[in-house]
Chain A
Amino acid sequence: MSAHESQLLQVNIGPQHPSTHGVFRMEVTLDGETVVALRPVFGYLHRNHEQLAEASSYIQTMPYTDRLDYFNSMTSNYGYALAVERLAGIEVPQRASYIRALMSELTRILNHATAIGFMINDMGAWHTALQFGMREREKILDLFEMASGARMMCNYFRFGGVVRDLPPEFLPYFDQLMRGLPAFFDEFEQLLRDNEIIVARSSGIGILPRDVAAGYSVTGPVLRGSGVPYDIRRAEPYGIYGELAFDIPVGSVGDVYDRTLVRFAEMRQSYRILQQIRERLPDTGGGHINPALANFGKQKALRPPAGEAYARVESPKGELGFYLVSDGSTQPYRYKVRAPSFINLTPLGAMCRGHLLADVVVILGSIDIVMGEVDR
Protein backbone atom coordinates (compact mmCIF):
# COMPACT_ATOMS: atom_id res chain seq x y z
CA MET A 1 0.00 0.00 0.00
CA SER A 2 2.76 2.41 0.89
CA ALA A 3 4.38 2.10 -2.52
CA HIS A 4 1.23 3.32 -4.22
CA GLU A 5 -0.32 6.68 -3.98
CA SER A 6 -3.63 6.11 -2.29
CA GLN A 7 -6.57 8.43 -2.06
CA LEU A 8 -8.70 8.68 1.06
CA LEU A 9 -12.39 8.03 0.66
CA GLN A 10 -14.99 9.93 2.63
CA VAL A 11 -18.02 7.79 3.45
CA ASN A 12 -21.10 8.89 5.32
CA ILE A 13 -22.53 6.02 7.28
CA GLY A 14 -26.01 7.18 8.11
CA PRO A 15 -28.23 8.96 8.94
CA GLN A 16 -30.20 6.53 6.82
CA HIS A 17 -28.28 3.30 7.14
CA PRO A 18 -29.35 -0.21 8.12
CA SER A 19 -27.09 -0.54 11.11
CA THR A 20 -26.80 2.82 12.78
CA HIS A 21 -29.65 1.89 15.14
CA GLY A 22 -31.69 4.90 14.16
CA VAL A 23 -30.78 8.22 12.65
CA PHE A 24 -27.14 8.41 13.59
CA ARG A 25 -24.37 9.45 11.27
CA MET A 26 -20.70 8.62 11.21
CA GLU A 27 -18.37 10.50 8.91
CA VAL A 28 -15.78 7.90 8.12
CA THR A 29 -12.53 8.53 6.29
CA LEU A 30 -11.32 5.36 4.67
CA ASP A 31 -8.00 4.29 3.26
CA GLY A 32 -9.16 1.34 1.21
CA GLU A 33 -11.35 -0.33 3.78
CA THR A 34 -9.33 0.81 6.79
CA VAL A 35 -10.79 3.52 8.97
CA VAL A 36 -8.47 6.50 9.26
CA ALA A 37 -10.85 8.76 11.14
CA LEU A 38 -14.41 8.59 12.35
CA ARG A 39 -16.55 11.46 13.53
CA PRO A 40 -19.97 10.78 14.99
CA VAL A 41 -22.67 13.28 14.03
CA PHE A 42 -25.63 13.65 16.34
CA GLY A 43 -28.87 15.54 16.43
CA TYR A 44 -31.18 13.95 13.89
CA LEU A 45 -33.55 12.92 16.66
CA HIS A 46 -32.96 15.93 18.89
CA ARG A 47 -36.22 17.26 20.31
CA ASN A 48 -34.91 19.22 23.28
CA HIS A 49 -36.35 16.81 25.78
CA GLU A 50 -34.79 18.74 28.62
CA GLN A 51 -36.51 21.97 27.71
CA LEU A 52 -39.85 20.22 27.39
CA ALA A 53 -39.38 18.84 30.88
CA GLU A 54 -38.56 22.29 32.22
CA ALA A 55 -41.85 23.54 30.82
CA SER A 56 -43.88 20.72 32.39
CA SER A 57 -44.82 19.75 35.91
CA TYR A 58 -42.75 17.01 37.48
CA ILE A 59 -45.14 14.16 36.86
CA GLN A 60 -45.80 15.23 33.27
CA THR A 61 -42.24 14.31 32.44
CA MET A 62 -42.63 10.75 33.69
CA PRO A 63 -44.25 9.34 30.51
CA TYR A 64 -41.77 11.33 28.49
CA THR A 65 -38.82 9.54 30.07
CA ASP A 66 -40.21 6.38 28.46
CA ARG A 67 -39.23 7.85 25.12
CA LEU A 68 -35.61 8.35 26.08
CA ASP A 69 -34.55 4.74 25.89
CA TYR A 70 -37.63 3.23 24.38
CA PHE A 71 -36.32 -0.26 24.91
CA ASN A 72 -35.94 0.20 28.64
CA SER A 73 -38.69 2.54 29.71
CA MET A 74 -38.81 0.99 33.17
CA THR A 75 -35.26 1.95 34.10
CA SER A 76 -35.72 5.42 32.63
CA ASN A 77 -38.77 5.82 34.85
CA TYR A 78 -36.77 4.58 37.79
CA GLY A 79 -33.97 7.08 37.38
CA TYR A 80 -36.35 10.01 37.10
CA ALA A 81 -38.52 8.91 40.02
CA LEU A 82 -35.40 8.45 42.12
CA ALA A 83 -34.16 11.96 41.33
CA VAL A 84 -37.47 13.60 42.20
CA GLU A 85 -37.76 11.54 45.37
CA ARG A 86 -34.31 12.67 46.42
CA LEU A 87 -35.16 16.26 45.61
CA ALA A 88 -38.45 16.25 47.51
CA GLY A 89 -37.44 13.79 50.24
CA ILE A 90 -40.09 11.18 49.45
CA GLU A 91 -40.06 7.78 51.14
CA VAL A 92 -40.65 4.69 49.02
CA PRO A 93 -42.40 1.71 50.64
CA GLN A 94 -40.58 -1.61 50.68
CA ARG A 95 -42.97 -3.38 48.35
CA ALA A 96 -42.73 -0.60 45.80
CA SER A 97 -38.93 -0.87 45.86
CA TYR A 98 -39.16 -4.59 45.23
CA ILE A 99 -41.52 -4.13 42.32
CA ARG A 100 -39.21 -1.46 40.91
CA ALA A 101 -36.17 -3.71 41.12
CA LEU A 102 -38.15 -6.56 39.57
CA MET A 103 -39.07 -4.41 36.60
CA SER A 104 -35.50 -3.11 36.27
CA GLU A 105 -34.01 -6.58 36.11
CA LEU A 106 -36.61 -7.79 33.63
CA THR A 107 -35.69 -4.76 31.56
CA ARG A 108 -32.04 -5.68 31.75
CA ILE A 109 -32.69 -9.17 30.44
CA LEU A 110 -34.78 -7.94 27.55
CA ASN A 111 -32.31 -5.24 26.65
CA HIS A 112 -29.28 -7.51 26.68
CA ALA A 113 -31.03 -10.25 24.73
CA THR A 114 -31.97 -7.86 21.97
CA ALA A 115 -28.73 -5.88 22.15
CA ILE A 116 -26.72 -9.02 21.49
CA GLY A 117 -29.14 -9.93 18.75
CA PHE A 118 -28.80 -6.55 17.10
CA MET A 119 -25.03 -6.71 17.30
CA ILE A 120 -24.95 -10.13 15.64
CA ASN A 121 -27.29 -8.68 13.05
CA ASP A 122 -24.73 -5.99 12.37
CA MET A 123 -22.23 -8.76 11.81
CA GLY A 124 -24.46 -10.01 9.03
CA ALA A 125 -26.40 -12.86 10.57
CA TRP A 126 -29.77 -12.74 8.97
CA HIS A 127 -31.89 -11.77 12.01
CA THR A 128 -31.82 -15.25 13.52
CA ALA A 129 -30.03 -14.29 16.72
CA LEU A 130 -32.21 -11.22 16.99
CA GLN A 131 -35.34 -13.30 16.71
CA PHE A 132 -34.13 -15.52 19.52
CA GLY A 133 -33.79 -12.47 21.74
CA MET A 134 -37.05 -10.98 20.55
CA ARG A 135 -38.91 -14.14 21.50
CA GLU A 136 -37.96 -13.71 25.17
CA ARG A 137 -38.52 -9.99 24.95
CA GLU A 138 -42.11 -10.53 23.92
CA LYS A 139 -42.77 -12.57 27.04
CA ILE A 140 -41.27 -9.88 29.25
CA LEU A 141 -43.31 -7.25 27.44
CA ASP A 142 -46.41 -9.31 28.22
CA LEU A 143 -45.52 -8.93 31.88
CA PHE A 144 -45.04 -5.19 31.48
CA GLU A 145 -48.41 -5.00 29.81
CA MET A 146 -50.06 -6.80 32.71
CA ALA A 147 -48.51 -4.46 35.24
CA SER A 148 -48.66 -1.13 33.48
CA GLY A 149 -51.05 -1.53 30.59
CA ALA A 150 -48.41 -0.76 27.99
CA ARG A 151 -45.75 -2.92 26.45
CA MET A 152 -43.02 -0.43 25.65
CA MET A 153 -44.06 3.01 26.93
CA CYS A 154 -44.84 1.76 30.39
CA ASN A 155 -45.10 4.99 32.42
CA TYR A 156 -45.33 2.69 35.44
CA PHE A 157 -43.42 4.59 38.11
CA ARG A 158 -44.75 7.34 40.29
CA PHE A 159 -43.01 9.46 42.89
CA GLY A 160 -43.06 7.33 46.01
CA GLY A 161 -43.82 4.01 44.33
CA VAL A 162 -45.43 2.57 41.24
CA VAL A 163 -48.79 3.41 39.73
CA ARG A 164 -50.56 0.17 40.70
CA ASP A 165 -49.73 -3.08 42.38
CA LEU A 166 -48.95 -6.22 40.43
CA PRO A 167 -52.15 -7.81 39.11
CA PRO A 168 -52.96 -11.35 40.33
CA GLU A 169 -52.11 -12.96 36.97
CA PHE A 170 -48.64 -11.40 37.00
CA LEU A 171 -46.80 -13.77 39.30
CA PRO A 172 -47.96 -17.06 37.69
CA TYR A 173 -46.87 -15.81 34.28
CA PHE A 174 -43.65 -14.51 35.80
CA ASP A 175 -42.91 -17.91 37.34
CA GLN A 176 -43.53 -19.54 33.99
CA LEU A 177 -41.10 -17.14 32.34
CA MET A 178 -38.50 -17.76 35.02
CA ARG A 179 -38.69 -21.51 34.47
CA GLY A 180 -37.91 -21.01 30.80
CA LEU A 181 -35.14 -18.45 31.15
CA PRO A 182 -32.15 -20.68 32.07
CA ALA A 183 -32.77 -22.83 29.01
CA PHE A 184 -32.92 -19.69 26.91
CA PHE A 185 -29.64 -18.40 28.35
CA ASP A 186 -27.93 -21.71 27.70
CA GLU A 187 -29.25 -21.99 24.18
CA PHE A 188 -28.51 -18.39 23.28
CA GLU A 189 -25.06 -18.44 24.78
CA GLN A 190 -24.11 -21.74 23.20
CA LEU A 191 -25.38 -20.71 19.80
CA LEU A 192 -23.38 -17.53 19.79
CA ARG A 193 -20.39 -18.16 22.00
CA ASP A 194 -19.36 -21.28 20.13
CA ASN A 195 -19.91 -19.78 16.72
CA GLU A 196 -16.49 -19.50 15.17
CA ILE A 197 -17.39 -16.61 12.89
CA ILE A 198 -18.85 -14.55 15.72
CA VAL A 199 -15.74 -15.12 17.81
CA ALA A 200 -13.50 -14.24 14.89
CA ARG A 201 -15.48 -11.12 14.12
CA SER A 202 -15.65 -9.85 17.68
CA SER A 203 -12.46 -10.72 19.51
CA GLY A 204 -9.68 -8.17 19.28
CA ILE A 205 -12.04 -5.59 17.78
CA GLY A 206 -12.75 -2.17 19.26
CA ILE A 207 -10.53 -2.59 22.28
CA LEU A 208 -11.07 -0.05 25.03
CA PRO A 209 -8.25 -0.70 27.51
CA ARG A 210 -8.99 -0.77 31.18
CA ASP A 211 -6.85 2.22 32.07
CA VAL A 212 -8.54 4.62 29.66
CA ALA A 213 -12.11 3.34 29.88
CA ALA A 214 -13.00 5.27 33.04
CA GLY A 215 -11.51 8.48 31.66
CA TYR A 216 -13.87 8.26 28.70
CA SER A 217 -16.81 8.23 31.14
CA VAL A 218 -18.22 5.07 29.59
CA THR A 219 -20.46 3.06 31.87
CA GLY A 220 -22.43 -0.13 31.86
CA PRO A 221 -21.35 -3.22 29.93
CA VAL A 222 -18.84 -1.17 27.94
CA LEU A 223 -16.95 -0.17 31.08
CA ARG A 224 -17.29 -3.60 32.68
CA GLY A 225 -16.21 -5.27 29.45
CA SER A 226 -12.97 -3.31 29.82
CA GLY A 227 -12.45 -4.88 33.22
CA VAL A 228 -13.62 -2.17 35.59
CA PRO A 229 -16.07 -3.73 38.08
CA TYR A 230 -18.22 -0.63 38.30
CA ASP A 231 -21.93 -1.06 38.71
CA ILE A 232 -24.12 1.60 40.31
CA ARG A 233 -26.24 -1.08 41.95
CA ARG A 234 -23.10 -1.87 43.94
CA ALA A 235 -21.26 1.46 43.92
CA GLU A 236 -24.14 3.55 45.17
CA PRO A 237 -27.01 1.17 45.93
CA TYR A 238 -30.49 2.52 45.40
CA GLY A 239 -33.81 0.90 46.24
CA ILE A 240 -33.26 -2.59 47.57
CA TYR A 241 -30.07 -3.35 45.68
CA GLY A 242 -28.01 -3.13 48.84
CA GLU A 243 -29.74 -6.26 50.16
CA LEU A 244 -29.39 -8.39 47.05
CA ALA A 245 -26.59 -10.81 46.24
CA PHE A 246 -25.17 -10.63 42.74
CA ASP A 247 -21.81 -10.59 41.01
CA ILE A 248 -20.47 -7.98 38.67
CA PRO A 249 -19.13 -9.71 35.57
CA VAL A 250 -16.14 -8.05 33.96
CA GLY A 251 -14.17 -8.67 30.80
CA SER A 252 -10.42 -8.90 30.49
CA VAL A 253 -9.46 -7.35 27.16
CA GLY A 254 -12.17 -4.80 26.57
CA ASP A 255 -13.06 -5.86 23.05
CA VAL A 256 -16.43 -6.48 21.46
CA TYR A 257 -16.37 -10.11 22.53
CA ASP A 258 -15.85 -9.15 26.15
CA ARG A 259 -18.78 -6.76 26.08
CA THR A 260 -20.97 -9.51 24.65
CA LEU A 261 -19.84 -11.97 27.30
CA VAL A 262 -20.50 -9.40 30.00
CA ARG A 263 -24.03 -9.00 28.69
CA PHE A 264 -24.53 -12.75 28.76
CA ALA A 265 -23.27 -12.94 32.32
CA GLU A 266 -25.38 -9.98 33.38
CA MET A 267 -28.51 -11.67 32.14
CA ARG A 268 -27.73 -14.59 34.40
CA GLN A 269 -27.05 -12.24 37.30
CA SER A 270 -30.35 -10.50 36.67
CA TYR A 271 -31.99 -13.89 36.77
CA ARG A 272 -30.36 -14.47 40.14
CA ILE A 273 -31.66 -11.14 41.43
CA LEU A 274 -35.13 -11.91 40.12
CA GLN A 275 -35.10 -15.20 42.01
CA GLN A 276 -34.28 -13.40 45.23
CA ILE A 277 -36.95 -10.77 44.63
CA ARG A 278 -39.52 -13.44 43.82
CA GLU A 279 -38.72 -15.22 47.07
CA ARG A 280 -39.16 -12.14 49.22
CA LEU A 281 -41.90 -10.35 47.32
CA PRO A 282 -44.90 -11.94 49.13
CA ASP A 283 -43.52 -10.86 52.51
CA THR A 284 -43.00 -7.26 51.57
CA GLY A 285 -45.15 -4.62 53.14
CA GLY A 286 -45.98 -0.99 52.69
CA GLY A 287 -48.09 -1.10 49.58
CA HIS A 288 -47.11 -0.18 46.09
CA ILE A 289 -46.92 3.56 46.68
CA ASN A 290 -46.32 6.03 49.46
CA PRO A 291 -49.85 6.82 50.79
CA ALA A 292 -49.08 10.53 50.91
CA LEU A 293 -48.72 10.53 47.15
CA ALA A 294 -51.17 7.80 46.20
CA ASN A 295 -53.55 10.30 44.64
CA PHE A 296 -52.63 11.57 41.20
CA GLY A 297 -53.58 15.12 42.08
CA LYS A 298 -50.91 15.09 44.74
CA GLN A 299 -48.37 13.84 42.26
CA LYS A 300 -49.34 16.67 39.95
CA ALA A 301 -49.13 19.32 42.63
CA LEU A 302 -45.70 18.22 43.82
CA ARG A 303 -43.52 21.19 44.74
CA PRO A 304 -40.08 20.04 45.81
CA PRO A 305 -38.17 22.50 47.98
CA ALA A 306 -35.57 24.63 46.27
CA GLY A 307 -32.34 22.72 45.83
CA GLU A 308 -30.67 20.24 43.57
CA ALA A 309 -30.42 16.47 43.33
CA TYR A 310 -28.53 14.03 41.19
CA ALA A 311 -29.78 10.45 41.07
CA ARG A 312 -28.49 7.65 38.90
CA VAL A 313 -29.52 4.11 38.19
CA GLU A 314 -27.78 1.28 36.44
CA SER A 315 -29.78 1.17 33.24
CA PRO A 316 -28.94 -1.78 30.97
CA LYS A 317 -26.88 0.57 28.84
CA GLY A 318 -24.98 2.18 31.67
CA GLU A 319 -25.34 4.97 34.16
CA LEU A 320 -28.59 6.80 33.63
CA GLY A 321 -28.48 9.95 35.69
CA PHE A 322 -31.00 12.72 36.27
CA TYR A 323 -29.88 16.08 37.60
CA LEU A 324 -32.67 18.29 38.85
CA VAL A 325 -32.62 21.85 40.13
CA SER A 326 -35.77 23.06 41.80
CA ASP A 327 -36.78 26.65 42.47
CA GLY A 328 -39.70 25.57 44.63
CA SER A 329 -42.29 25.67 41.86
CA THR A 330 -44.18 22.80 40.22
CA GLN A 331 -41.76 22.76 37.31
CA PRO A 332 -38.09 21.86 37.50
CA TYR A 333 -35.79 24.83 37.00
CA ARG A 334 -33.21 22.60 35.37
CA TYR A 335 -33.66 19.04 34.23
CA LYS A 336 -30.71 17.21 32.79
CA VAL A 337 -30.45 13.64 31.59
CA ARG A 338 -27.10 11.94 31.73
CA ALA A 339 -27.75 9.49 28.91
CA PRO A 340 -25.50 6.42 28.89
CA SER A 341 -25.92 5.75 25.17
CA PHE A 342 -24.73 9.26 24.39
CA ILE A 343 -21.69 9.35 26.62
CA ASN A 344 -20.67 5.80 25.73
CA LEU A 345 -20.19 7.07 22.18
CA THR A 346 -17.33 9.36 23.27
CA PRO A 347 -14.57 6.81 22.54
CA LEU A 348 -16.19 5.53 19.32
CA GLY A 349 -13.73 7.30 17.04
CA ALA A 350 -10.76 6.08 19.03
CA MET A 351 -12.08 2.52 19.11
CA CYS A 352 -12.71 2.34 15.38
CA ARG A 353 -9.46 3.85 14.15
CA GLY A 354 -7.34 1.32 12.29
CA HIS A 355 -10.11 -1.23 11.99
CA LEU A 356 -11.96 -2.15 8.84
CA LEU A 357 -15.24 -0.65 7.77
CA ALA A 358 -17.02 -3.90 8.62
CA ASP A 359 -15.83 -3.59 12.22
CA VAL A 360 -17.27 -0.11 12.67
CA VAL A 361 -20.85 -1.32 12.70
CA VAL A 362 -19.96 -4.18 15.01
CA ILE A 363 -18.24 -1.82 17.45
CA LEU A 364 -21.21 0.50 17.33
CA GLY A 365 -23.49 -2.46 17.93
CA SER A 366 -21.42 -3.55 20.91
CA ILE A 367 -21.83 -0.14 22.54
CA ASP A 368 -25.59 -0.66 22.33
CA ILE A 369 -27.12 2.74 21.71
CA VAL A 370 -30.67 3.93 21.38
CA MET A 371 -31.06 7.13 19.43
CA GLY A 372 -33.96 8.33 21.54
CA GLU A 373 -31.51 8.59 24.38
CA VAL A 374 -28.48 9.77 22.42
CA ASP A 375 -30.15 12.77 20.86
CA ARG A 376 -32.85 13.41 23.47
Chain B
Amino acid sequence: MSDQPAAVRLTAALPAAWRDAARLEAHAADLPAVARFVRDRLGYAMLTNLTAVDDLARGEIEVVYHVVSPAGGAPLAFRARTPRAAARLPSLVACWPGAELQEREAYDLFGVTFDGHPDLRRIYLWDDFVGHPMRRDFPRQGDKYIAGAGEE
Protein backbone atom coordinates (compact mmCIF):
# COMPACT_ATOMS: atom_id res chain seq x y z
CA MET B 1 0.00 0.00 0.00
CA SER B 2 1.02 3.60 -0.16
CA ASP B 3 2.01 3.72 3.48
CA GLN B 4 5.45 2.31 2.74
CA PRO B 5 7.39 3.25 5.86
CA ALA B 6 4.93 1.52 8.16
CA ALA B 7 5.00 -1.59 5.98
CA VAL B 8 8.78 -1.55 5.94
CA ARG B 9 8.98 -1.22 9.69
CA LEU B 10 6.50 -4.02 10.06
CA THR B 11 8.42 -6.46 7.86
CA ALA B 12 11.70 -5.48 9.44
CA ALA B 13 10.49 -5.91 13.00
CA LEU B 14 8.91 -9.31 12.50
CA PRO B 15 11.03 -10.92 9.77
CA ALA B 16 9.87 -14.45 10.45
CA ALA B 17 6.18 -13.73 10.42
CA TRP B 18 5.67 -13.38 6.71
CA ARG B 19 4.67 -15.84 4.09
CA ASP B 20 4.85 -13.14 1.44
CA ALA B 21 6.37 -9.98 2.83
CA ALA B 22 5.75 -7.94 -0.34
CA ARG B 23 1.98 -8.32 0.09
CA LEU B 24 2.24 -8.18 3.90
CA GLU B 25 0.89 -11.70 4.03
CA ALA B 26 1.51 -13.19 7.46
CA HIS B 27 1.58 -16.78 8.57
CA ALA B 28 -1.69 -17.58 10.28
CA ALA B 29 0.05 -18.42 13.53
CA ASP B 30 1.89 -15.10 13.60
CA LEU B 31 -1.21 -13.02 13.03
CA PRO B 32 -1.76 -12.00 16.68
CA ALA B 33 1.85 -10.88 17.01
CA VAL B 34 1.57 -8.85 13.83
CA ALA B 35 -1.67 -7.32 15.05
CA ARG B 36 -0.21 -6.36 18.39
CA PHE B 37 2.81 -4.78 16.73
CA VAL B 38 0.64 -2.88 14.29
CA ARG B 39 -1.58 -1.62 17.04
CA ASP B 40 0.95 -0.83 19.75
CA ARG B 41 4.10 0.12 17.87
CA LEU B 42 2.79 1.54 14.63
CA GLY B 43 -0.23 3.28 16.18
CA TYR B 44 -2.91 1.73 14.01
CA ALA B 45 -5.53 1.67 16.73
CA MET B 46 -8.51 0.92 14.53
CA LEU B 47 -9.22 -2.25 12.62
CA THR B 48 -11.48 -0.60 10.15
CA ASN B 49 -12.22 -3.38 7.72
CA LEU B 50 -11.93 -7.14 7.66
CA THR B 51 -12.55 -8.85 4.36
CA ALA B 52 -12.45 -12.49 3.41
CA VAL B 53 -11.62 -13.25 -0.21
CA ASP B 54 -12.18 -16.71 -1.61
CA ASP B 55 -9.25 -17.54 -3.87
CA LEU B 56 -10.72 -20.52 -5.66
CA ALA B 57 -7.74 -20.98 -7.97
CA ARG B 58 -5.28 -21.51 -5.12
CA GLY B 59 -7.77 -23.25 -2.88
CA GLU B 60 -7.29 -20.71 -0.13
CA ILE B 61 -9.24 -18.04 1.64
CA GLU B 62 -7.45 -14.77 2.20
CA VAL B 63 -8.50 -12.50 5.02
CA VAL B 64 -7.49 -8.88 4.52
CA TYR B 65 -7.23 -6.56 7.51
CA HIS B 66 -7.37 -2.82 6.88
CA VAL B 67 -6.11 -0.88 9.86
CA VAL B 68 -5.99 2.88 10.26
CA SER B 69 -4.47 5.29 12.68
CA PRO B 70 -6.74 7.84 14.37
CA ALA B 71 -4.08 10.41 13.54
CA GLY B 72 -4.94 10.07 9.87
CA GLY B 73 -3.36 8.69 6.76
CA ALA B 74 -4.17 5.87 4.41
CA PRO B 75 -5.04 2.44 5.78
CA LEU B 76 -2.46 -0.30 6.10
CA ALA B 77 -3.52 -3.67 4.75
CA PHE B 78 -2.07 -6.93 5.99
CA ARG B 79 -3.46 -10.35 5.31
CA ALA B 80 -3.36 -14.02 6.08
CA ARG B 81 -4.34 -17.10 4.12
CA THR B 82 -5.89 -20.34 5.17
CA PRO B 83 -6.86 -23.45 3.19
CA ARG B 84 -10.48 -23.48 2.06
CA ALA B 85 -11.09 -27.02 3.26
CA ALA B 86 -10.22 -26.20 6.88
CA ALA B 87 -10.37 -22.44 7.08
CA ARG B 88 -9.06 -21.44 10.47
CA LEU B 89 -7.36 -18.27 11.66
CA PRO B 90 -6.62 -16.81 15.07
CA SER B 91 -9.16 -14.21 16.15
CA LEU B 92 -8.08 -10.62 16.59
CA VAL B 93 -10.95 -9.67 18.91
CA ALA B 94 -8.57 -9.61 21.85
CA CYS B 95 -6.52 -6.98 20.07
CA TRP B 96 -9.33 -5.02 18.41
CA PRO B 97 -12.81 -5.52 19.89
CA GLY B 98 -14.10 -4.01 16.67
CA ALA B 99 -13.27 -7.26 14.90
CA GLU B 100 -16.08 -9.09 16.66
CA LEU B 101 -18.94 -8.57 14.24
CA GLN B 102 -16.70 -8.59 11.19
CA GLU B 103 -15.19 -11.95 12.09
CA ARG B 104 -18.67 -13.31 12.64
CA GLU B 105 -19.57 -12.08 9.18
CA ALA B 106 -16.56 -13.80 7.62
CA TYR B 107 -17.43 -16.97 9.52
CA ASP B 108 -21.01 -16.87 8.36
CA LEU B 109 -20.45 -16.10 4.71
CA PHE B 110 -17.05 -17.75 4.09
CA GLY B 111 -16.75 -20.36 6.77
CA VAL B 112 -13.54 -19.10 8.31
CA THR B 113 -13.32 -20.23 11.91
CA PHE B 114 -11.66 -17.66 14.12
CA ASP B 115 -10.03 -19.32 17.11
CA GLY B 116 -10.49 -17.34 20.28
CA HIS B 117 -13.54 -15.41 19.14
CA PRO B 118 -15.82 -14.94 22.17
CA ASP B 119 -19.10 -15.61 20.38
CA LEU B 120 -18.58 -17.14 16.97
CA ARG B 121 -22.06 -17.73 15.56
CA ARG B 122 -23.70 -17.12 12.23
CA ILE B 123 -24.60 -13.47 12.01
CA TYR B 124 -26.85 -13.01 8.99
CA LEU B 125 -28.05 -16.48 8.16
CA TRP B 126 -30.01 -18.69 10.47
CA ASP B 127 -28.25 -21.29 12.52
CA ASP B 128 -29.34 -24.37 10.51
CA PHE B 129 -28.18 -22.92 7.23
CA VAL B 130 -25.84 -25.28 5.39
CA GLY B 131 -22.86 -23.86 3.57
CA HIS B 132 -21.25 -20.49 3.25
CA PRO B 133 -22.86 -18.52 0.44
CA MET B 134 -20.07 -16.08 -0.36
CA ARG B 135 -17.68 -18.85 -1.37
CA ARG B 136 -17.24 -18.79 -5.09
CA ASP B 137 -18.32 -22.42 -5.53
CA PHE B 138 -21.51 -22.08 -3.52
CA PRO B 139 -24.28 -23.47 -5.75
CA ARG B 140 -27.00 -21.20 -7.03
CA GLN B 141 -30.07 -22.61 -5.32
CA GLY B 142 -32.90 -20.40 -6.37
CA ASP B 143 -35.76 -20.14 -3.92
CA LYS B 144 -35.03 -23.41 -2.21
CA TYR B 145 -35.89 -22.04 1.20
CA ILE B 146 -38.93 -20.08 0.14
CA ALA B 147 -40.55 -23.04 -1.64
CA GLY B 148 -40.45 -25.07 1.56
CA ALA B 149 -42.09 -22.36 3.61
CA GLY B 150 -45.71 -22.51 4.67
CA GLU B 151 -45.51 -24.98 7.51
CA GLU B 152 -45.16 -23.79 11.09
Contact = CB atoms under 8 A, between A and B. Distances in A.
Direct contact of A and B (CB under 8 A): yes
Interface of A: 42-43, 46, 48, 50-51, 212, 214-219, 228, 230, 234-236, 308, 310, 312, 319, 321, 323, 325, 333-334, 336, 338, 342-343, 345-347, 375
A46 B125 contact: yes
Given A215-B97, A217-B96, A323-B66, A236 B48 contact: no
A131 B109 CA distance: 39
A219 B67 CA distance: 13
A347 B96 CA distance: 12
A43 B126 contact: yes
Contacts of B54: 334
Contact of B124 (A215, A234, A343, A375): A375
A24 to B, nearest CB: 12
B interface residue count range (under 10 / 10 to 19 / 20 to 34 / 35 or more): 20 to 34
B99 interface: yes
A78 to B, nearest CB: 17
B16 interface: no
Given A310-B66, A346-B97, A346-B100, A217 B125 contact: no
B48 A219 contact: yes
B98 A234 contact: no
B133 A346 contact: no
Contacts, number: 88
Interface stretch (B5-13, B26-34, B72-80, B82-90): B72-80
Contact of B51 (A312, A323, A345, A375): A323
A57 to B, nearest CB: 17
Given A42-B124, A50-B109, A236-B74, 14 more contacts: A42-B123, A46-B124, A48-B134, A216-B97, A217-B48, A217-B98, A217-B99, A308-B64, A321-B66, A323-B49, A334-B53, A338-B49, A347-B97, A375-B124
Contacts of A42: 123-124
B2 to A, nearest CB: 10
Nearest to B79: A308
B56 to A, nearest CB: 9
A336 B133 CA distance: 14
A212 B53 contact: no
B111 to A, nearest CB: 14
B15 interface: no
B109 to A, nearest CB: 8
B98 A48 contact: no
A321 B48 contact: yes
